[in-house]
Amino acid sequence: MRSFGFRSALVALIAAAGMTLASAAHADSGTIRISVVKGGWFIGASGGSGTLTFRGRRYPLSIGGLSAGLVFGASQTYLSGTVTNIYRPSDVAGVYGAAGAGAAVGRGVGAIVLSNEKGAVLTMQGRQTGLMVNADLSGLAISLR
């Protein structure tokens, strides 16, 4: 009787694992390009635009955000990379948060990994131009246009 219970539990565990893997297998990825202008004096603001390419189609994006802390200067950042763990284009929309510090004088190169509340993960790299010094808490909001 214990053997039957053990086999039943093992089959249920394998079925649950299979459903989890099947669910994760349906998540897809795309490419993303954004351009963001940021400026501020203690409180900063950023805005820009971009493009998501997902399953062969292009979707225009709007970018906005605020930062608070030590923010001084202005810069323009161009980032490109991938967005993973999305099921539909709207999954990329949401708020992405980051805390950090940095400085850019002239041209700088950077990389960033962010995620939103829907589980979308942005992995981007690019360049920043301008004069910007920051040690702040930042929020970046992406929406489909």
pLDDT string in tens for the chain (145-residue length): 555 554 555 454 455 545 444 445 578 999 999 998 888 887 778 889 999 999 999 999 999 887 766 677 888 889 899 999 999 999 999 998 664 444 445 555 567 888 899 999 988 888 878 776 655 446 688 999 8
For the chain, which residues make up each domain, given as ranges? 28-144
The answer to whether the beta carbons of residues 32 and 83 sit under 8 Å apart is yes
Query: How far is 98 from 91, CA to CA, in rounded Å?
Result: 19
The structure tokens listed for 145 are 């246009």
28-54/94-115 β-pairing? unpaired
Q: Whole-prediction pTM value? A: 0.71
CA 55-111-71 angle, 5° bins? 120
The domain defined by 28-144 folds into Lipocalin (2.40.128)
